[in-house]
Amino acid sequence: MGDAARKAREVGVVGDATLRGFLGYHIKRAMAVLQADLNKVLKPFGLRMVTYSALVTIVDNPGLRQAQLADALAIERPNLVVILDELEGAGLITRDKVPSDRRAYALNPTLKGRRLAEQATAANRADEARLLQGLAPADRNRVIEVMNQIEHGPGGAQS
Amino acid sequence: MGDAARKAREVGVVGDATLRGFLGYHIKRAMAVLQADLNKVLKPFGLRMVTYSALVTIVDNPGLRQAQLADALAIERPNLVVILDELEGAGLITRDKVPSDRRAYALNPTLKGRRLAEQATAANRADEARLLQGLAPADRNRVIEVMNQIEHGPGGAQS
DNA sequence: TCACATAGATATGAAGTATAACTATTATTA
DNA sequence: TAATAATAGTTATACTTCATATCTATGTGA
């Protein structure tokens, strides 16, 4: 480390050259911005990131069971309970007894839930478009491909 | 939603089409994999993600103050204290009194700390290379550009 | 000198996340 | 069929992460 770097630090600049060498570091920093931003957009709807994800997944998959939802969202079952309590308490979903298995509950959105999900999704789309303005669709798709490779392994194998 | 989707759910498949429409959702899922993977790689070194980031930043910027490090890592000052306690207790860094300001501590890596940082960085690089195998350097750079746009806003302005 | 700002530390609380164990049902099998 | 095991959802609990307020010692500026 040279004098320039030492001097820069004295006026408040700290280098992160080594960390910048990792793709994961860039992704982590971007993710922090995305998460803060998303929660700000969702706040007026009374939703957080997890409650939004849960609601949208229930709207997309009406009738699914809690264990299935927990799997899809990578949430532990006990933690999902309070999230669903919140959505049910807000009148956005119902827990309906399923006749064929009296242990289970089928999760269904209410009309209010479907409408709120639609509005929140529109708001999120608008916000993401703002964050990504000027980004070519091809580049966006490329990024998605890379994220999927990271998630599922090279070649896109589903693990 | 059609019969096919309803049938698929019965055998355990839950769709996330709406969420997949968000770049942030893909990034979040990739980040979860990266974080789990990174922590696994760091475990043999006795490090976690935050302690590794802190150690590397101290190695790259010897003599920096705690407040500077907290800023660089976007960690609150009180939370950084325990992280540094951990690194200092492991003999990886020292908190040295700075003569010009007796309130402050200059953070410096020990030889052991520098060596551990070097080894951990090498391990992380190897692991990230494994996760990203087959990814063209141009694509990797494109992803980094997009992450920086998300973090700093369009045009790469530093906010 | 006196008021105020800053560096680091301590205490504390909120939120997210993970595990064990309970109730009620369903499935298995001896 | 009776006994056993497995499953869905829940409760209780603890651990980690993250944020805020406050304290001390020290430094800065009117």
Percent of chain B with pLDDT over 70: 89
What are the tens digits of pLDDT across the range B33-48? 999 999 999 999 999 9
Cβ burial of B126 (10 Å; 0-12, 13-18, 19+) is exposed
Band (A3; pLDDT cuts 50, 70, 90): very low
Rounded Cα gap, residues B59 and B39, in angstroms: 20
CATH of A18-127, one of 3.40.50.2000, 3.30.930.10, 2.30.40.10, 1.10.10.10: 1.10.10.10
Who's near A76: CB < 8 A, 6+ residues apart?
A70
Q: From B144, B128, B59, select the one nearest A18 (Cα to Cα).
A: B59
pLDDT of residue A111: 98
**Which amino acid makes up residue A16?**
D
Comparing A34-48, B9-23, B64-78, which segment has the lowest mean pLDDT?
A: B9-23
What are the tens digits of pLDDT across the range B108-119? 999 999 999 999
pLDDT of residue A153: 80
Which whole number is the average pLDDT over A118-126?
A: 96
Band (B2; pLDDT cuts 50, 70, 90): very low
Q: Which contacts of A5-8 are long-range, i.e. CB under 8 A and separated by 24 or more positions?
A: A5/B61, A6/B63
Strand, helix or coil at A125? helix
**Structure-token pair, residue A152:** 């599922």
pLDDT of residue B3: 41
pLDDT at residue B23 above 70?
A: yes
User: DSSP secondary-structure letter at B22?
Assistant: -
User: DSSP secondary-structure letter at B7?
Assistant: H
- Tell me which residues have their CB below 7 A from strand C: A 48, 50, 75-76, 78-79, 100-103; B 65-68, 77-78, 80-81, 84, 95, 101, 103-105
Q: Which residues of B touch A140 (CB under 8 A)?
A: 23, 146
Which whole number is the average pLDDT over A126-138?
A: 93
Average pLDDT, chain A: 90
- In whole angstroms, D15 C1' to B94 CA is 28
Q: Render B30-43 in DSSP notation, one character per residue.
A: HHHHHHHHHHHHHG
Comparing A35-44, A138-147, B9-18, which segment has the lowest mean pLDDT?
A: B9-18
CATH class of B3-137: mainly alpha
Asked if A143's CB is within 8 angstroms of B143's CB, the reply is yes
Strand, helix or coil at A131? helix
Q: Which of A1, A146, A148, A159 to mutate to test the interface with B (most CBs of B within 10 A)?
A: A146
